[in-house]
């Protein structure tokens, strides 16, 4: 059985494969599965966008697809950039530009008002249309400068307990991150589905 990860983001692919390696499936990225194009993220929430991406890949491949939609929600910015996190600075996935824009938007905002959380929705869609979604959330705050060379996206400026996600090892990040929580919930639910089909 194959499980297609509906993303071309190499960082996300590594996290998915690392955290789902115990599942009895062959895990392929969208690129490895030969997926052409990408779903339009027209949803109004992380859950809706995750479902759109997974459904697009399931239809194209005829395999079970899993997608996440995630982002950072900053209290002082009314929850922005939220679902627009990947394209906050304009170009999709320009991590440095996104981080620079966010730090600029928070210039002059004191430590106690820099609260933020990462949110993650993971959707699983079967070729026959069956689906489910799970959620993960991690509270933290936005630092004043990037730190660490690990992770991707907003990891270098998102701090939890005084340490940025960019400074954590992959295992440390998996234990506390929004995607780590959602992937553990997904793995549990997916195993239940597999057992139910036996």
Q: How far apart are CA 3 and CA 7, in angstroms?
A: 12
Q: For residue 96, list its beta bridge partners.
A: none
Q: Above pLDDT 70, what percent of the chain?
A: 99
SS3 189: helix
pLDDT at 156: 97
Residues 6+ apart with CB under 8 A from 184: 19
pLDDT-wise least confident of 73-77, 93-97, 102-106, 152-156: 93-97
Contacts of 48 (CB under 8 A, 6+ apart): 69
Report the percent of the chain where pLDDT is more than 90.
85
Give pTM, 2 decimals.
0.91
pLDDT for residue 33: 95
pLDDT the model gives residue 198: 59
Q: Which of 22, 68, 69, 100 is catalytic?
A: 69
Active site residue 155: no
Distance, CA of 140 to CA of 12 (rounded, Å): 20
Q: Over the chain, what is the mean pLDDT?
A: 94
First to last CA, the chain: 13
- Higher pLDDT: 1 or 164? It is 164
**What is d(CA 188, CA 197) in angstroms, rounded to the nearest whole number?**
15
Q: Is the pLDDT of residue 162 over 70?
A: yes
- What is the pLDDT at residue 147? 97
């Amino acid at each position: 059985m194959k499980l297609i990860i509906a993303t071309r983001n190499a960082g996300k692919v590594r996290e998915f494969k690392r955290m789902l390696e115990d599942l009895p499936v062959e895990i392929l990225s969208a690129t490895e599965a030969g997926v052409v194009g990408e779903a339009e993220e027209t949803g109004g929430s992380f859950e809706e966008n995750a479902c759109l991406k997974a459904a697009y890949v399931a239809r194209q491949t005829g395999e079970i697809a899993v997608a996440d939609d995630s982002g950072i929600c900053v209290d002082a910015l009314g929850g922005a950039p939220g679902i627009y996190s990947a394209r906050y600075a304009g170009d999709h996935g320009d991590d440095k530009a996104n981080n620079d824009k966010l730090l600029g938007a928070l210039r002059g905002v004191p430590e106690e008002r820099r609260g933020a959380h990462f949110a993650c929705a993971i959707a699983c869609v079967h070729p026959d249309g069956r689906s489910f979604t799970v959620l993960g959330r991690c509270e933290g705050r936005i630092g004043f400068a990037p730190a660490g060379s690990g992770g991707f996206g907003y990891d270098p400026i998102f701090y939890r307990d005084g340490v940025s996600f960019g400074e954590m090892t992959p295992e440390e990040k998996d234990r506390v991150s929004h995607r780590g929580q959602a992937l553990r919930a997904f793995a549990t639910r997916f195993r239940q589905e597999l057992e139910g089909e036996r």
